[in-house]
Amino acid sequence: MQIHEIIRTRRTALGLTQEQLAGKLGVSAPAVNKWERGNSYPDITLLPVLARTLRVDLNTLLSFREDLTETEIAEFLNRLYEVSRTDGCGAAFSLAEEKLRQFPNSDALAYSAAGLLEGLLTLFPGTDETARPGREDFVAGLYEQAAQSADPKIREWATYTVASRCIARGDLDRAEALLDQISNTHRDKREVLSALRRKQGRTEEAWTLLERELFDRAHGIQTTLLSLIEMAQAEGDRQRAQGFCDAARRAGEALDLSDYAVLSAPFQLAAAEQDGPAALDLLDRLLHSLTVPWDLSASPLYRHLATKEAAGEAQSVLLEPLLDQVEADPDCAFLREIPEYGTMVEKYRRAADGA
């Protein structure tokens, strides 16, 4: 809110008339009326006593803030988009410039506005061509500002964006330096790094990065579906649990995951339902899958990833921990009542010891 709105809002909230507020400040009622309509402003010497009378601090009275809330930024972006639709791209840029002058230190606003404005330049490529270079420079400047932010989240996303733009225009050395600043946990780092490697002619590395990204995301999908199965089971919704289980199996097969990954969801469901024969069969298949080397590179999806030996070695180390987990899990206690269970566990214990 602007100062005139704050004066009116606070005066009303305190139950004061314009005359009463004027009396406390030693000014006329028409003067207060002009303040509240925005036609004039209080004298600077009145600001401290006005703030105390309205029970606000001076920063609030003067509408001074360093930053905007996430909600306020979202509302402004909506307004920015609507202005672009009704009044054109130029009007949207002017509005953004005005807002950024009011909040020059808001890196969140700078980054968010840059993304929307960049989108507008893409949506309206043929409008006002003489102003376009300046607008593109303005967007680039906002990204650069955000890339220096003290907020690590904003800084990392802005750095990622600047690196992507550097790759697009061929500034590969700077892109490399920027990507070095981004943590390896950044969700999309591998994809942009792969694009950089392709531009650098390092195609094998580009393949490996993207295949690793696909592989990790595929396992992430499986993990999420296992959690969804568990939630559906907790609510007694067997139909949904089965649906998630079927989706996990199909996804695992489509994305060429190991038998262990494909069978995990059906085993979880069978164990939860205490379906002894089905659970025991699935457990046997799960355990067996860990004794067989998995040729990951044989998949057309993952040709550049681990060799057959490395993949098999990585699986075999899971055998004993899985046996321990099943033995200790109270939900699997019903399995121990099946005569074949003990023989099967002993077989895989020997396999683990001999691995």
Dihedral angle, C-alpha 53, 56, 61, 63, nearest 10 °: -170
Alpha helices for the chain (secondary structure H): 3-13, 18-25, 29-37, 47-54, 58-61, 70-87, 89-102, 107-123, 132-146, 152-169, 172-180, 189-199, 203-234, 238-254, 259-272, 276-289, 308-316, 319-328, 339-354
Check residue 241 and give its pLDDT: 95
The SS3 call for residue 204 is helix
Check residue 127 and give its pLDDT: 61
Check residue 68 and give its pLDDT: 81
C-alpha 74/C-alpha 80 separation (Å) is: 10
Check residue 186 and give its pLDDT: 87
The SS3 call for residue 86 is helix
Check residue 15 and give its pLDDT: 92
Q: Find all residues with CB under 8 Å of 318, minimum gap 6, and list them.
A: 260, 290
Range(s) for CATH 1.10.260.40 in the chain? 3-61
Cβ atoms 305, 211 nearer than 8 A: yes
Check residue 1 and give its pLDDT: 58
Check residue 128 and give its pLDDT: 64
C-alpha 54/C-alpha 11 separation (Å) is: 6
Check residue 187 and give its pLDDT: 83
Check residue 309 and give its pLDDT: 43
Check residue 126 and give its pLDDT: 62
Which value, in Å, is the radius of gyration of the alpha carbons in the chain?
31
Q: What is the pLDDT of residues 73-117, one digit of tens each?
A: 999 999 999 999 999 889 999 999 999 988 888 899 999 999 999
- What does pTM read for this prediction? 0.71
Confirm or reject CATH 1.10.260.40 for domain 3-61, answering yes or no.
yes
Q: Which CATH class is domain 70-199?
A: mainly alpha
Range(s) for CATH 1.25.40.10 in the chain? 70-199
Check residue 177 and give its pLDDT: 97
Flag residues of the chain having pLDDT under 70.
1, 63-67, 125-131, 307-316, 355
Q: What is the pLDDT of residues 147-177, one digit of tens each?
A: 999 889 999 999 999 999 999 999 999 999 9
